[in-house]
Each structure stands twice: as C-alpha cells, then as structure tokens.
Amino acid sequence: LVGCARQIPKPPPPPPPAHPATAQPRLHAGWSFRNDRDACLAMADADRTQLVIAVRRKQPILLRVVMPYASSGRPVARFHGPAGAWTVHGWHAGAHEIVFPLGHDMDSLSRVLMLLSGGMLDLDSPGGNLPVFTLSASGPDGQRWFSCAKRLVI
C-alpha cells in the first residue's frame, strides 16, 4: 500500500498584479470667488491643486483643474452630491492642467449649482493619479457668485 499513496501537488501561487493600484489623492477644498463685468470665477483650492469654474459671456462654462503633477489619458469628471450627479469628459490643456467643458446653457448652470452645493468630484483617467475633491457647500458667497454666473449665461 505504500506505493498506492499519491501526493497531490500544491497549486502555484497567484501571479502578482500587473500594475499596483495607485491611490487617488483626496483633497478637501474651500471656495473663493471673483466677479467682474465679463467673467465670474469660482475657485476651490486644496494642497497645491486648484479647481476653477470659469463663466464668461458667450463662451462655454469651463471647469479647469491645475495640479502640481502630470497626468495622461482622456480625463473624466464624475460629480456626486446632495443636489445631483453628472459626468463629463475633458482634455489636457498642458502637462499640469485639465479642462472640462460644461456648455453654455441652463443644464450647464445646474451642474455648477450642484458643485456649489457640495459633494465629491472624482477625476479619473487611464493614466491615474488624478484627485478626488471633497467640496463643501459654498454658502451665501457662492449664492452671490452664482447670480453673476447666471447673468452671463442667460
């Protein structure tokens, strides 16, 4: 019977992951605002990274992100907050800058209003390394700024 006992070989260990996952930077941003006759700018700054909402007369509303590091691949912005959710694709405007066009209409203004109401703005691209913004509600200053933005769009 000694020769009848068969040993079962152990399975090989699983292969290591192809690319280790990189954690997205999580940024808590506070709002500031600047208005003039031809433009309304809302800025959310955090850890050397800036999110800018630029509203100008007769131009698409632009959501611009300036970062201290480079990213590659086609970026996507996904917003989720108490006022709603939306997704928009963008492009690289330089090694450290990404632009997301929101359009120039009431739907675009509603996306801006959702941002000002607070929530999570998750930026993603195949190249990874883009931040997730935690945006607080902008309060009365944001409401005054939104009046400026609405005046330039409507």
pLDDT of the residue at 127: 73
Grouping H, G, I as helix, E, B as strand and the rest as coil, residue 119 is strand
**Selection from 38, 46, 100, 35 nearest residue 68 by Cα:** 46
Residues 13-66 pLDDT 10s: 666 554 445 677 889 999 999 998 899 999 999 989 999 999 999 999 999 999
Quick check: 79 pLDDT over 60?
yes
Residues 100-145 pLDDT 10s: 999 999 999 999 999 999 999 999 988 777 889 999 999 999 999 9
Q: Categorize the per-residue pLDDT at 69 as very low, low, confident or very high, splitting at 50, 70 and 90.
A: confident
pLDDT of the residue at 44: 96
How many CA atoms are closer than 13 Å to the CA of 132, on its beta-carbon side? 12
In degrees, rounded to 5, the angle at the alpha carbon of residue 121 between the alpha carbons of residues 70 and 118 is 140
DSSP labels, 7-76: PPPPPPPPPPPSSPPPPPPEEEEEEEEEE-SSEEEEEEEETTEEEEEEEETTS-EEEEEE-SS---S--E
Grouping H, G, I as helix, E, B as strand and the rest as coil, residue 96 is coil
